[in-house]
Structure 1
Amino acid sequence: MQQYSDLEKAALEVFVTSAEDPIYACRADLPPEVFGAFGSFFSRNPKDLRGHLFDAIHGRIKGHKIDDESAAQENLMKLAGGEFLSPAEALRSGVSKSQAFFREWYGKYSHKSIANTVWIPFVGTQVSQLFARQLAFDQLAFFIEQSTRYVKFDVENLHMDAAIMKSSHRDLYIGTLQEAADAYQRFTDLAADHHAKEWPFDRWLRSKEGQDDPIAKAEDKSQRRAYRRELKAMAFDVARLLLPQAVKTNIAWILDARSTEWDIAAWKGHPLTEIRRSAELIEKAGGAIAPSLLKYTEENPYYGEQYRNFDGALFADLPAECMKKGVDVISYDPDALDKSLAMLLSRNNRSADVSRLLGFVKDKLNFDDKIEILRTVTKKRGRHDEWVDVEEAFDCMSVTVQFRSDIGAMRDLRRHQKWDRNEGIYTLDNGFYLPDVIREMGAEAVSTYEEVMGRTFDAEQIIRKDFPHAAQYLVPMAAMHSITMRAGLDQFQYFVATRTTPQGHFSYREDAYNLATAVCKAHPWLLGLKEFPEGKGIDEVYENAPLKGILRPYIGETGLHT
């Protein structure tokens, strides 16, 4: 490992966390493009990235050398002394014709593999729910989105689709959105009043004591502040069902340059003006961070045609049919127990043909032996051990399911980025979700809710004749929707553990319990059972399950939200 003087270490540690440790992180002052360029050397050059940084500061990059050693020394001193307003300037001044340098090395050492290492942080403000859904299809886009629980959405500033606003549907579009906006405002207040009556402070506090929540031991002032906050959150959970897809949100995400480049090219052919415009803005913003990497961003007509649904060529003329909440297993492997054990044995033994291990499991182990292996694997699993297997052994067997639920719940389910997913165009053809809590709020609340849904559906049917994709902006979060998702069994158990917690939204909690029931009926061995008991719910079955180390749903009273 190269040795550096104290001055050189201080200069390097402006860009990295350590000039000496074998593992280190790169600081924000190291431009992503520089990280990618120097990282590209690894495939052909054994030198540490810090060595390349040092060469850049000194102007010693091959083919881009600077003869002025005094300038290099000045760079070191300024960096070490914190005199550069932007430390990245030291690298730029140390590498002449920097963009030519980047293009040369990216081209030489594979554009795509280098682009994978350059991650770009983006922020989208005042974007619609349809933008957020489109972004979430990119499984490498890790995002944080404005919460419908903790933020009262601005329903006075909804997305006005440019094409619709120029059409004869303009007034119908605006009027329909305005009615939904007014209902959202009213339901926020109605739901807050309802929950205050259903959950008076004393009952709420007792529920916290039952959950061993720290707030139960806090001072009265803090408890009442938390109580009001939770009432407000619960009200938003109900009211969000009325929010249309035109409601705007803020979202921050990071994405590698390769995926960003792909999205830009594909989105440029999207039928929604908002998505096409977003592609241009992402290209502009990303180009300011990694200009030499976003190279192949021309519109991709192949993917554009798919976004346009082949202009109706694959349309299936099915009559509308109302959906009910539920989960259906589309496909699974009946031999998943044996194959999962073979995978676990494979990872915990010297390398062997997996088919031999599978034969061993089938021929040498009875059901009790197999469950005992799973107990051995999970017996020390603690509360914060999210995964069954430390690597990927338990994810090699997958299950494909269909969720039938409201779009609002789907908004939360799509956060599980490692699940593959497929879904159609948003519509009210499938009916809408009417939760028990709205029925409990009284006949007037139910009537208002149903009227908004009915008039929105009428408007959607009219507008979609001319604008089949833009009509989605009208569709409320309450609309029932189908989404097909696939993941490994470790992802499945994590989903159930995450989405059944007391803090979860009542809608997706129901979806998570439905998922647990459906998958455990296909794979009862996940609970140590040969068969799932007929006519029993997941809560009762889990309570008496012989194996609880794999699946860990929350069973108990929910109370309000934290």
Structure 2
Amino acid sequence: MDRRAASPYARDESLRRIFAVLGIPPEELAYTMAAYSRSKRSFLETNAFITGQKAADFLETFYFAYGHRSIADMAHVPFAIENVSILAAIEIVAESLWDGQERSTRYQDFSVTGYLVPDEIVGSDVEALYIETADALFEAYEKVSQAAYRHYLATVPKPEGMEQKDYERTLRARAFDVGRYLLPLATHTSVGQITSARTLEKQISRLLSSPFGEVRRVGEALRDAGRSPARSPRDERALTLVEQLASSENAAIASALKEALAPAAAAPTLVKYTAPDRYRLETQEALRRVYEGLLGQVPVGITEPVSLVEVDDPAVEAVAKLLYGVGRHPFSQIVLHVQTLTRPEIRELLELAFEKRGPHDEWLAEFRTGYLNFDIVMDIGSYRDLHRHRRCHQLRQAWTTRLGYEEPDVVRAAGVQETYREAMARAFQAAQHIDEAVPPLGAYLLPLGTRCRALFSMDLAELAYIAELRTRPTGHFSYRRVAYDMYRKTVERYPDFAPFVRVVDPDYEDLTER
């Protein structure tokens, strides 16, 4: 007896179907997936009953009214974000669940890209100073990049078997690595991203909460783009053909095709209620007052470029992170101060952090505790590279001139040290002046060589990943040193792991390796 044939439940593998899906608008796709989980119909049968309006009605009910937020994880929306400043791009990509790419300072000549003049600067008393300073930085960028390229051509032998054009292209990229130190945060760049609608919703709310007008306007533009008809190059080409059909005897078919190909909005319902993150804004303002009361008059301590800080008490760690994000002191110094507080005082600060939390607000990210905490002082360019690592929690203090700037050794070797230093000094002076006149917009003139302070929290596996990837000779010499110091601090504390992390000492350098 064939037990399988006799069973009302048994099925063989011939029924299995696996296929990719393209061309369904994100909100309709999210609705299809959600309905699919509640239906015996196949995916394609389920989707056949769905329209944009049905999807919107469904999401209004289950996503917003009932809080089934996982539905938005199934609506993935690609965005092209073009001609924004590097400052804005750093804020755009600051999501842990984010996929995308930004223009590379290594493989593109940014002298042709130009820079942003924010709306708040246009027509102001400091517009001329802003433009003169940014122009000077770009002129210095070109001069230093060209000098570094000539220096490398004269000092780095071409490897045997390497094509001349590949050799020159590689050294030109290495020269841009040096020149990038002079690019201001105002430099124009572009970002391509793909996120779930849930991440997009959080991203827009965070951008709308920024102290920078440009960043807030980017948030508004993302929200508008999510609600407007999306660009579909493939469909646009097809519509051109439909227009050609419309004048013929196939007009009825052309009309039906045109309707089917009409552009759909990417996520009109899911981005409709995005707004500034009031919980974070109000909590940060309260924490700033607390920070100034506790540490405002305490001298800022001096630390090594990379410090590993471990905290046994999660409450102490969380409070220290809350204060770090609005402060200027090293993390270790803040931790020591928090450890002197009584338990009632710590509880009072925790209550302050939750006081403004609304019914749909998640815990603040500062409560992600129990990790390796690296307090790092590095140039903005290196921060921009390490900032792309997603499997770690990051806190950055405000942009400032107080920490000074980095100067690559090759600047002196290439004979452009004076040019470099003059450009940096001029930018710092102008940034401070503009910050006084139109705060905080002086930050746009800070070159990528400016130092910043940031806290990176991660587990051992992520530390090993960053150390192995970022110490390779193909990487930028600045973040190679930072990643190696992170590794060194970790294995000093946990030597058992040292043999298993495949790092390359940053003193080893091969400028022709790609």
- Taking the aligned partners of 1:332 and 1:28, their CA distance within structure 2 comes to 47
Q: 2:503 corresponds to which residue?
A: 553
Q: CA deviation at 1:474?
A: 0.4
Give the secondary-structure state (helix, strand or coil) at the position aligned to 1:421: strand
Q: In the alignment, which of 400, 406, 412 is matched to residue 385 of structure 2?
A: 412
Counterpart check, 1:501 vs 2:472: yes
Q: Report the residue type matching 1:41 in the other structure.
A: A
Q: CA deviation at 1:38?
A: 2.1
**How is 1:41-52 mapped onto 2 (pairs within 5 angstroms)?**
41=35, 45=38, 47=40, 51-52=42-43
Counterpart check, 1:21 vs 2:12: no
**Pair 1:325–1:439, CA change in 2 (3 A):** farther
Q: 2:323 corresponds to which residue?
A: none
> 1:511-534 CA deviation, whole Å, 9 max, x = no partner?
11111111111111112xxxxxxx
Check conservation: 2:113, 2:188, Cα contact below 8 A.
no
Q: CA deviation at 1:499?
A: 0.3
**How is 1:65-214 mapped onto 2 (pairs within 5 angstroms)?**
92=51, 99-104=56-61, 106=63, 110-154=67-111, 157-201=114-158, 204-205=159-160
**How is 1:477-488 mapped onto 2 (pairs within 5 angstroms)?**
477-488=448-459
Check conservation: 1:141, 1:255, Cα contact below 8 A.
yes
Q: Report the residue type matching 1:47 in the other structure.
A: K
Check conservation: 1:154, 1:248, Cα contact below 8 A.
no
- Taking the aligned partners of 2:422 and 2:433, their CA distance within structure 1 comes to 17
Check conservation: 1:425, 1:469, Cα contact below 8 A.
no
Q: Report the residue type matching 2:413 in the other structure.
A: E
Give the secondary-structure state (helix, strand or coil) at the position aligned to 1:121: strand
Q: CA deviation at 1:326?
A: 2.4
Give the secondary-structure state (helix, strand or coil) at the position aligned to 1:255: strand
> 1:432-487 CA deviation, whole Å, 9 max, x = no partner?
10121112223xx1111111111111111111123332111000011111111010
Q: CA deviation at 1:31?
A: 2.2
Q: 1:235 corresponds to which residue?
A: 175
> 1:52-98 CA deviation, whole Å, 9 max, x = no partner?
531442x4xxxxxxxxxxxxxxxxxxxxxxxxxxxxxxx54xx8755
Counterpart check, 1:330 vs 2:309: yes
Q: Report the residue type matching 2:273 in the other structure.
A: Y
Q: CA deviation at 1:176?
A: 0.9
What TM-score, normalized to structure 2? 0.72
> 1:286-312 CA deviation, whole Å, 9 max, x = no partner?
222022222321334333456889888
Q: CA deviation at 1:136?
A: 2.5
**Pair 1:398–1:455, CA change in 2 (3 A):** same
- Taking the aligned partners of 1:437 and 1:96, their CA distance within structure 2 comes to 60
Q: 2:412 corresponds to which residue?
A: 439
Q: 2:423 corresponds to which residue?
A: 452
Q: CA deviation at 1:498?
A: 0.3
What TM-score, normalized to structure 1? 0.66
Q: In the alignment, which of 372, 391, 408 is matched to residue 399 of structure 1?
A: 372
Once the two structures are overlaid, the 10-residue window that deviates more, 474-483 or 458-467, is 458-467
**Pair 1:52–1:196, CA change in 2 (3 A):** closer
**Pair 1:253–1:162, CA change in 2 (3 A):** same
- Taking the aligned partners of 1:403 and 1:311, their CA distance within structure 2 comes to 21
Check conservation: 1:271, 1:307, Cα contact below 8 A.
no
Check conservation: 1:177, 1:244, Cα contact below 8 A.
yes
Check conservation: 2:375, 2:454, Cα contact below 8 A.
yes
**Pair 1:96–1:441, CA change in 2 (3 A):** closer
**How is 1:200-279 mapped onto 2 (pairs within 5 angstroms)?**
200-201=157-158, 204-205=159-160, 216=161, 223-279=163-219
- Taking the aligned partners of 2:80 and 2:137, their CA distance within structure 1 comes to 27
Structure having greater relative contact order (Cα 8 Å, sep ≥ 6): 2
Give the secondary-structure state (helix, strand or coil) at the position aligned to 2:453: strand
- Taking the aligned partners of 1:309 and 1:275, their CA distance within structure 2 comes to 23
Check conservation: 1:121, 1:255, Cα contact below 8 A.
yes
Q: In the alignment, which of 40, 44, 47 is matched to residue 53 of structure 1?
A: 44
Give the secondary-structure state (helix, strand or coil) at the position aligned to 2:80: strand
Q: CA deviation at 1:323?
A: 7.7
Counterpart check, 1:467 vs 2:438: yes
Q: Report the residue type matching 1:183 in the other structure.
A: A
Q: 2:30 corresponds to which residue?
A: 36
Q: 1:522 corresponds to which residue?
A: 493
**Pair 1:139–1:56, CA change in 2 (3 A):** closer
Check conservation: 1:149, 1:233, Cα contact below 8 A.
yes
**Pair 1:314–1:258, CA change in 2 (3 A):** same
Q: Which runs of 5+ in 2 are unaligned?
A: 1-13, 228-264, 314-368
> 1:228-253 CA deviation, whole Å, 9 max, x = no partner?
11110011000000000000111111
- Taking the aligned partners of 2:124 and 2:178, their CA distance within structure 1 comes to 33
Counterpart check, 1:296 vs 2:273: yes
Check conservation: 2:226, 2:266, Cα contact below 8 A.
yes
- Taking the aligned partners of 1:333 and 1:319, their CA distance within structure 2 comes to 24
> 1:245-283 CA deviation, whole Å, 9 max, x = no partner?
000111111111122122223322322111111111100
- Taking the aligned partners of 2:370 and 2:62, their CA distance within structure 1 comes to 40
Give the secondary-structure state (helix, strand or coil) at the position aligned to 2:436: coil
Once the two structures are overlaid, the 10-residue window that deviates more, 431-440 or 325-334, is 325-334
Check conservation: 1:321, 1:429, Cα contact below 8 A.
no
- Taking the aligned partners of 1:551 and 1:461, their CA distance within structure 2 comes to 42
**Pair 1:320–1:261, CA change in 2 (3 A):** same
- Taking the aligned partners of 1:307 and 1:332, their CA distance within structure 2 comes to 22
Give the secondary-structure state (helix, strand or coil) at the position aligned to 2:488: helix
> 1:407-448 CA deviation, whole Å, 9 max, x = no partner?
111110011111101111112211110121112223xx1111
Q: Which runs of 5+ in 1 are unaligned?
A: 1-18, 60-90, 206-215, 217-221, 335-395, 528-547
Q: Report the residue type matching 1:179 in the other structure.
A: A
- Taking the aligned partners of 1:273 and 1:449, their CA distance within structure 2 comes to 30
- Taking the aligned partners of 1:176 and 1:317, their CA distance within structure 2 comes to 32
Check conservation: 1:399, 1:487, Cα contact below 8 A.
yes
Q: Identity, % of aligned pairs? A: 30
